[in-house]
Amino acid sequence: MMKQPDSGKCKGCAASSDSKLEKLGVKLGQADFVVALAGNPNTGKSTVFNAVTGLRQHTGNWPGKTIARAEGGFSYNGKKFKLVDLPGTYSLLSATEDEEVARNFILFGRPDVTVVVIDPMRLERNLNLALQVLQITDKAIVCVNLMDEARAHGVSIDGRGLARDLGVPVVLAAARQGEGIDQLLTEIDDMANGRSSCTPHRLKYDIPTVQESIEELVAALTDAFPTMPHREWVALRLLEGDPRIIQAVSTGEIGTLGEDHVATGTISACGN
């Protein structure tokens, strides 16, 4: 069992940052930053989304509730943030229809910050997605939600140790009670504005032949899709034979996945 960290923030501290938060609902206008909420199903992403935007995106205690992107806004410290609530996904490699919405936005939607919401009672499975996200971005925050349930089950989380091992900020939260939301907003604000930097844990592909093949594919992808982000990730999927990615590359769709998702963003949440 891991040691309970001294996170430095508590339920009672919310007032200090509440004054900096303005929930904008769907009335956002031009945002300064885009923040994605990613995570396994049922970890509380929509609950975080609602707490911060004031919207009422559907939540429930069964998996798979969010099936399309929902967008809402908030202002914090004078900057406007668009928050994107994504369907739950176990992996960036899996591709049911809902998961593809999440994966396409994380990879090609160019979020300024990606918050990965994880369940402390299913750490191993949840960290799989977190580590995949850390492979592709150094602007990520891990939010360990459902901490009230974890405590009730005698599970404690060493937030500082996890942050050190992952190389990104970790926030412990119980979003339904508003616990940890203030600290999450501070971390998002710091990261979006470049006041915090991180060095995420990354796997290295140091087998020379694999590395050479990746470099060759990245060069070809750069020629074909000069503005596409995460070309190394796409190259790895091509090497693995991911059928959906092979199809998207051969049809050229891969170059527009991010644009599609920005253009067709769904505002499925309802205002207060």
Ligand X SMILES: Nc1nc2c(ncn2[C@@H]2O[C@H](COP(=O)(O)OP(=O)(O)OP(=O)(O)O)[C@@H](O)[C@H]2O)c(=O)[nH]1
Nearer of residues 176 and 201 to ligand X, judged by Cβ:
176
Per CB under 5 A, does 46 bind Mg ion?
A: yes
By rule CB under 5 A, what count of residues binds Mg ion?
A: 3
* Contact of residue 174 among ligand X, Mg ion, none (CB under 5-8 Å per partner type): ligand X
* Contact of residue 61 among Mg ion, ligand X, none (CB under 5-8 Å per partner type): ligand X
In angstroms, give the least distance from the CB of 47 to ligand X. Answer: 4
CB atoms within 10 A of CB 31: 18
Subset of residues 52 to 81 that bind Mg ion, contact rule: CB under 5 A: 66
Binding site for ligand X (CB under 6 A): 39, 41-47, 59-61, 63-66, 87-88, 145-146, 148-149, 174-176
In angstroms, give the least distance from the CB of 44 to ligand X. Answer: 3
* Contact of residue 169 among ligand X, Mg ion, none (CB under 5-8 Å per partner type): none
* Closest to 180 (Cα-Cα) out of 152, 149, 145, 141: 145
38 contacts: CB under 8 Å, gap ≥ 6: 45, 86, 89, 102, 106, 114, 115, 116, 117, 129, 133
Nearer of residues 237 and 261 to ligand X, judged by Cβ:
261
Enter the tokens of residue 224. 């074909």
b/e burial code for range 138-170 (CB count within 10 A of at least 16 → b): ebbbbbbbbbeebeeeebbbbbeebbeebebbb
User: Looking at 9-17, 45-53, 145-153, 158-166, which segment touches Mg ion (CB under 5 A)?
Assistant: 45-53
In angstroms, give the least distance from the CB of 176 to ligand X. Answer: 4
Distance CA 204, CA 21 (A): 39
Residue corresponding to tokens 């975080």: 48
Helix (H, G, I), strand (E, B) or coil at 137: coil
Return residues touching Mg ion (CB under 5 A). 45-46, 66
